[in-house]
Amino acid sequence: MEKVVLITGVSSGIGRATALRLAGKGYTVYGAARRADTMRGLEGTGIRLITMDITDEASIEAGITTIINTEKRIDILVNNAGYGSFGALEDVPMSEARYQFEVNVFGMARLIQLVLPYMREQGSGKIINISSIAGKLGQPHGAWYHATKYAVEGLSDSLRMELRQFKIPVVLIEPGAIQTEWNGIARDKLLQVSGHTAYKNSVQKHYKMFEKADLSFSSPPDVIAAVIERAVLGQNPKTRYVAGSGAHVLLFLHSILPDKWFDKLVLSQLK
């Protein structure tokens, strides 16, 4: 039986690369994004496209109902939708902070709630949550984004233990620097929110660091798509997969250095 996969955030980057990779392997792939026009490049690829706003309850429920009515099952959920909203904590409006959580955490959690009854009933399933090394360490001007990814880590660790009795694995993917729209959105938001405030000097340097990362040492999205494929195929997948430029090195340094030393290392990149 062909396995049915739902991937959110397929309009670009990791989600798009993963959808194309799994569809090419014969999976029945449903790709979801907030706007239909952003998915036009996926038409004719075999991917079944659905419009889904993961901050809207009715939209999420309609998407899941469409898949269940058509396929009668969902085998794998890849929670990839998310974005980075940067700016000094003092400057970021609370409405933007809440929306960051709605997209990166609560929408993901609601999708999991909706697919789990079907996975339990069919006796199989797999939840793959796209986190980040940002869920393991911090950086200036990214407090809210990092907070959402720390939340994804904690939610996934707890969920993994809850679902062990049903033999439904929960897998975390922790990318490093990746060539996606994320970088451009994050740095533009950073400049917009804090580029003219008390934090403007460090923000200008951080913006340039984002630009350098995008051009010089970030990995293509397919690097992460390949790791997601390994998690999908694995009978006994690991709880975490780390991949992408700088990911292993940064996590290792964070694990061995005292906090203040690691802070200095991160801040040195803004000089």
Q: Which residues contact 199 (CB under 8 A, 6 or more apart)?
A: 88, 90, 91, 141
User: Which residues does the annotation mark as catalytic?
Assistant: 145
CB hemisphere CA count around 227 (13 angstroms): 24
Rounded Cα gap, residues 129 and 156, in angstroms: 7
Type of residue found at 48: R
Q: Is 103 exposed, middle or buried (0-12, 13-18, 19+ CB in 10 A)?
A: buried
Q: Which residues contact 243 (CB under 8 A, 6 or more apart)?
A: 173, 174, 175, 176, 219, 223, 224, 226, 227
Longest dimension (CA), the chain: 58
